[in-house]
Structure 1
């Protein structure tokens, strides 16, 4: 079923992909959100935030609310989630969180629309229930909000068409220790590590999932070559802001450790053919995966994804078409603002 609306005096059918973005509002999240807001085949029903990740909850939520001003949809609702994961208390180092909270010193237009008064979980529940069409969820942060939703309101699972999750690592080392060596965990990826129980609950929900792990995002590096290419192709407010953010974080761009983690997952929502299980197999590979829950302070593997005969089946992208992604991302974020 699709929504009817009137445009230029004609009754039209809204066939856009209905999407909710659940985000920790990191720099790559900014790019992913703007990509979806600018995409002509996407209708972003709302954004839910989590303080379990790169941004603290309050500044991250305000930044998300103001970010939508760089699109034709400033009224897009933004709802505030939680600052506490369902298990443990893992978090990004404050040295990173400060820059994300403050937008690296950049400013966004102030959005006159208030933050949605509902909690993220209540917003998710009511928005899913109200949608006449199944909704795709892009999960690009710790999975606390969704894990809580599916536990408290399992009936809404039927309204979720698909979840695209950026998270985890299958055949590569994790990235937790590389970012913060106060953690000894060398096998987990941050979005799963931040709430291992939330991830387990989402994976076992029965909702169709495409996982975009580090294995796929390693093919789409965000480096000086891309930065220079993008600098020459800026024709929208969204593209200008992305360029300014990358300029402010240029040391990360130059490090060769920056990848299009969340924007690649966002592009999978609209263009699933960008990722595959390998370079020759067309669709993501189905894997039965479990999430290690136990935190061992001497040998921490919590958040590691392991193959398990009893684990839920997840579609896993292991490869990405870098050139096709770069072209799609640049084209989309530079589109004119048209509602």
Structure 2
């Protein structure tokens, strides 16, 4: 009962104070989206996936499992979509890579039975989707960029037919935590060559770097989410417990939020060079990206929480 009381107080307060983000959404044409994720290590991917499916402005065409053990990530995604009551969109397996990081949510993924047929190849199927809807698809990239690099290698002309890439990645002035010095950010440094290919691709790129994505899900907000008791929030709670740390930072969720409402993270045109250590360095010259250098955590959560805590429509 105490958790429910906290939920009601926090969620109601957010809904009341949320400004235009808490108001029922006006009917708009849905954006076609491919979501590329390395769900299963850090917990922020799961929160980003949840937001994508609870945003009526987005039509998720496919989810691509990226980086590391992409087969197991695809199993996790199938499990999550099913048990969270989310739409059963195609799940595709991306490029498998070597990694030494911990797959914290492995137990959850392994509860999903092996598929009866191999997962579709994320590179081929994503390129096919782009060919069928040229200039219409937003690729939301919240993983190391191995799948993106493979798409560029296989068919750069088709890749350039994306409407845009919205990327969580990079570090311009802000590092992790309270570090006020830029540093190589995970999604860039785990596949530097693919990141270099993306920034040279000519596709419109919208970058959500560490500068704008240190978004802490504090104790009150965690209680609001995990005490909510919906199918979606129950699955988020299970994954959070397997993740095994205390306070999530919802880096990746900002990329999804930006795709829905760019006002949440205003961007500045910049020319970004990815160096061989994974640094994203602003340089003089014609811009190749639009970069968000700051955001409001309060505004973000006023946008995020009402969507994830809203009743499911049947």
The TM-score bracket by the shorter chain reads 0.7 to 0.9
**Structure 2 counterparts to residues 128-207 of structure 1, below 5 A:** 128-131=130-133, 134-173=136-175, 187-207=183-203
In the alignment, which of 50, 66, 74 is matched to residue 34 of structure 1? 50
| CA 115–305 in structure 1, closer or farther in 2 if over 3 Å, else same | farther
Alignment correspondent of 1:101: 106
3-state SS of the aligned residue for 2:163?
strand
| CA 107–244 in structure 1, closer or farther in 2 if over 3 Å, else same | farther
Using CA pairs under 8 Å that are at least 6 residues apart, name the structure with larger relative contact order, 1 or 2. Answer: 2
Alignment correspondent of 2:13: none
Give distance in 1, aligned partners of 2:134 and 2:173.
39
User: So what's the TM-score if we normalise by structure 2?
Assistant: 0.80
Deviation at 1:248, TM superposition (A): 4.3
Note if 1:287 corresponds to 2:270.
yes
| 1:32-84 Cα deviation digits (max 9, x unpaired) | 112111221211000111233xxx2221110012222123412x111111123
CA RMSD, Structure 1 to Structure 2 (Å): 2.8
| 1:278-299 Cα deviation digits (max 9, x unpaired) | xxxxxx0111111112xxxxxx
Note if 1:227 corresponds to 2:232.
no
| CA 247–102 in structure 1, closer or farther in 2 if over 3 Å, else same | closer
Alignment correspondent of 1:77: 90
| CA 14–306 in structure 1, closer or farther in 2 if over 3 Å, else same | closer
Give distance in 2, aligned partners of 1:174 and 1:321.
17
Task: Give structure 1 stretches of 5+ with no counterpart.
Answer: 1-12, 178-185, 277-283, 294-301
| CA 252–263 in structure 1, closer or farther in 2 if over 3 Å, else same | same
Alignment correspondent of 1:58: 71
Note if 1:208 corresponds to 2:180.
no
| CA 239–174 in structure 1, closer or farther in 2 if over 3 Å, else same | closer
In the alignment, which of 233, 237, 254 is matched to residue 243 of structure 1? 237
Is contact 1:140–1:191 with CA below 8 Å preserved after alignment?
A: yes
How many corresponding residue pairs? 282
3-state SS of the aligned residue for 2:63?
strand
Is contact 2:80–2:235 with CA below 8 Å preserved after alignment?
A: no
**Higher share in strand:** 1
Deviation at 1:107, TM superposition (A): 8.3
Task: Give structure 2 stretches of 5+ with no counterpart.
Answer: 1-26
Deviation at 1:274, TM superposition (A): 0.8
Alignment correspondent of 2:6: none
Give distance in 2, aligned partners of 1:168 and 1:159.
24
Alignment correspondent of 2:298: 323
User: So what's the TM-score if we normalise by structure 1?
Assistant: 0.75
3-state SS of the aligned residue for 2:105?
helix
| CA 132–170 in structure 1, closer or farther in 2 if over 3 Å, else same | closer
Give distance in 2, aligned partners of 1:64 and 1:228.
24
Is contact 1:290–1:311 with CA below 8 Å preserved after alignment?
A: no
Give distance in 2, aligned partners of 1:335 and 1:132.
33
Give distance in 2, aligned partners of 1:312 and 1:47.
29
Give distance in 2, aligned partners of 1:194 and 1:311.
26
